[in-house]
Every structure is written in C-alpha cells, then in structure tokens.
Amino acid sequence: MTLLQPADATLDRTPVKRTVLMCRPDYFTVSYRINPWMHPEDPTDTSLAVRQWEQLHRIYTDLGFDIELIDPLPGLPDMVYAANGGFVLDGIAYGASFTYEQRQPEGPAYMTWFREHGFDVREPENINEGEGDFLLVGERILAGTGFRSASHSHEEVERIFGREVVTLGLINPSFYHLDTAIAVLDPVSTDAAPANIAYLESAFDEPSLEKLRTLYPDAILVSEDDAAVLGLNSFSDGYNIVIAARAKDFERQLRERGYNPIGIDLSELLLGGGGVKCCTLELRR
C-alpha cells in the first residue's frame, strides 16, 4: 500500500475516524446477472476476491478505522457488498429491501446483525438498497432512484432521520446505485472544508444535475474512464480516500485538492459490480 502525499499541503484536511461494517467474500461468485457488470459465463476466482478484500480491510485497519464484521452466508454471493445492507445514522438502522429476488435474503440478515449489535432497526416499507443509494454529505442525505431504490423510500428516510433528503435520478444502467456515480469527499463540514462530493455528470438526468451544480459548485467532475472502473465508488475519512487504483485522473484531482488518495485493486469484486464503497457500510451511532 502506498500512501500518496498531497501536492497542496496548505489545505487543511483532517481525517475523522470511521466505524464500518464489512463482509468477507467467502462465497463470492457471479452466478446470475442483475447488473451490466455481471457475466455468469465468465469464471470468477473466490480466493482472489478474498485476498483483494483483505487488502481493503488492512488499509482500513492502518487508517485506524473500527471495523465490524458480519458473517457471510452460503448462497448469498453479493453479501460482500455491505453498503447495500442498510443505512445507519444516529444509531438507527434503516433496513434494506432488495429489488432482485437473488439478494432479498440479505435484507433480513443485515437487520438481524443490526439488532444484535444494539441499533434501533427500522424495517423498510419501500424497496431500497441501503447506502448504495443513500449518501450522507454533511447534514444532507443524497438519495438515488431510477434503477433500484424506489423514490418513496426517500420520503421514508426523511421521516425516520429528520434530515433533508435530495432525490437524484440515475439514467445510466452501468451506474445503477448512487454510490457508483457520486463519491463523498468530505463527510462532515468544517470551517476549513465544507462537505463536498465528486460525481459523473452523465449518470444523472438534467434536473438532478441542476441540483448538484447548485448544492456543490466546487465538486470534482470525474471522467468517464475513471467512473468506468468504479473510481467514484470510494470511501473517505475527510483526508484519506480509498479509490480504485486504475482511476488515475481522479487520483490526480484528489491530490490537487489536498486529499490523500489510496489506490487498491478490487478487480475481482468489480466482476459483481462493486468496488471500495460497495464493500463498506458506515456505522454512525
């Protein structure tokens, strides 16, 4: 692992310790197709997926994160994508209700874990895929719809958490979850650095782009090439940002803004349509 130092050290970016939930990909494979990244006819290497996941786990450990683990279950190869298991904020865990039947058992499995670990679990009334489509940026929740999470789940989240929820329409099937099209760079606002994001413009409809341009005028606009390797599917502590190693221009953009990008190869897990953020569910008590 190489920790790259930012070119502009005058920018005051302070890392904030994170607590995350992860799931080892012991049963990872691609046996069905529910997104454009998945090709069941192509072989997958479960042992390689585990090794790549373990590297991500080591990076988070080196960054000082608190890491919780949920046991993987046989027959649920996508359970490694923990971000889809719910949305956790203020000690409340809003459970997931998956669009496709192949992943539907994951919702109860994650809700059971939340209950056993002291969270106030709210069972969903609407289809939603957790933090895949709900991103906390400062005090605001950005919420995606168009392919997976139903727009009514946005109203549900607003009611449960009492936060502003901004609905964003996704239009590119390759970026079917919000966390594939937006990276949260600064999860919390500070005097030195207001909450900010990076995003792929072509992933959104025009009304959503107008919202993003208004709310985040200083956002990083990421290239199609970097988005195509799920470069935006990243995880930040406000200074260190773990990204896809192949997202080289995004890496440059981050360094120029005073962040510390850390590249990782999760190419095997990409075969299922997931990257860094997909493997990472933040636990906020």
Q: What is the pLDDT along the chain (285 residues), one digit of tens a residue?
A: 444 443 444 467 999 999 999 999 999 999 999 999 999 999 999 999 999 999 999 999 999 999 999 999 999 999 999 999 999 999 999 999 999 999 999 999 999 999 999 999 999 999 999 999 999 999 999 999 999 999 999 999 999 999 999 999 999 999 999 999 999 999 887 776 689 999 999 999 999 999 999 999 999 999 999 999 999 999 999 999 999 999 999 999 999 999 999 999 999 999 999 999 999 999 999
pLDDT in tens, 87-136: 999 999 999 999 999 999 999 999 999 999 999 999 999 999 999 999 99
Catalytic residues, by residue number, are 177, 278
3-state secondary structure the chain: CCCCCCCCCCCCCCCCCCEEEECCCCCCCCCCCCCCCCCCCCCCCHHHHHHHHHHHHHHHHHCCCEEEECCCCCCCHHHHCHHHHEEEECCEEEECECCCCCCCCHHHHHHHHHHHCCCEEECCCCCECHHHCEEEECCEEEEEECCCCCHHHHHHHHHHHCCCEEEEEECCHHHCCHHHCEEECCCCCCCCCCCCEEECHHHECHHHHHHHHHHCCCCEECCHHHHCCCCCCCEECCCEEEEECCCHHHHHHHHHCCCEEEEECCHHHHCCCCCCHHHCEECCC
Give the domains, in start order, of the chain with CATH numbers: 19-282 (3.75.10.10)
Is the pTM value of this prediction over 0.85? yes
